[in-house]
Amino acid sequence: MASSESVFLAGLVHLMIRFIFYITPQSRLGTPGPAISTAIVGVALLDIIYDNRIIPLRFNDMSAGFQYMVETVVAIVLLEFGMLIWTSIEHSIYLFAKGTLLGLSVVSKPTYYRNENLIIGSFTLPLSLAILIMAAQATDHYQIIRRRLSH
């Protein structure tokens, strides 16, 4: 299991990279839609990273500070790689939805462009919630949350 400090720091560094340096997936790929889907997938990735041992066992002989540094760097790399995959999926959904809806004339162009964020969000938000639920079940955190809420 990765340390909570390393995972928290990886999430913080990801936010700093994204907001301070203005490196956002939407600006690179031009994907409209709500940012909440990306945030939900980010939380799911952090949950998976937290639940797994991400550095080799031989690092147990190293100092705790060195372990935290290596763990943080590996967590950042894994988080950024996972977010790169998610933004590619999100952009593919956008292209597919736009091509299908406009290509088959399901909606008119003015209606589509007026409601583009809502339309794309209706595809990406359920998918991101499904990813979060699967991550929570895979890490058994769903059961922990359910037990706490039932008592």
Domain ranges for the chain: 4-150
pLDDT of residue 28: 55
pLDDT grade for 56, boundaries at 50, 70 and 90: confident
pLDDT of residue 31: 81
Residue 45 predicted with pLDDT over 70:
yes
User: Measured between alpha carbons, how far is 143 from 151 in angstroms, rounded to an integer?
Assistant: 12
The pLDDT tens digits for 82-105 are: 999 999 999 999 999 999 999 999
Residue 20 predicted with pLDDT over 90:
no
Residue 142 predicted with pLDDT over 80:
no
Please state the pTM of the whole predicted model: 0.84
Residue 18 predicted with pLDDT over 90:
no
DSSP 52-90: S--S-GGGGGS-HHHHHHHHHHHHHHHHHHHHHHHHHHH
